[in-house]
């Protein structure tokens, strides 16, 4: 599953059109959104780990 950059609903990663907001999401936009989404999560976890155990 992936995140729709437009309405932030879950959508299948390879589906070009979001089923919730009916917006066509480009592959690069989708990739960038997922990179940002998971990147922020990893960053927050890393900061939390350093803060707790560092």
Residues at the site binding Zn ion, with contacts judged by CB under 5 A = 4, 6-7, 18, 20-21
Nearer to Zn ion, 26 or 46 (CB): 26
What is the H or E stretch that residue 2 is in? Answer: strand 2-3
Nearer to Zn ion, 24 or 47 (CB): 24
Taking the complex as a whole, the smallest distance from the CB of residue 44 to Zn ion amounts, in Å, to 24
Nearer to Zn ion, 20 or 35 (CB): 20
Residue appearing with tokens 């803060």: 51
Angle at 10 between CA 40 and CA 17, to 5 degrees: 115
Residue appearing with tokens 């979001």: 18
């Amino acid at each position: 599953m992936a995140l729709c950059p437009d309405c932030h609903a879950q959508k299948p990663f390879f589906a070009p059109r979001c089923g919730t907001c009916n917006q066509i999401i480009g592959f690069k936009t989708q990739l960038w959104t997922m990179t940002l989404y998971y990147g922020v999560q990893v960053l927050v976890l890393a900061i939390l780990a350093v803060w707790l155990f560092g």
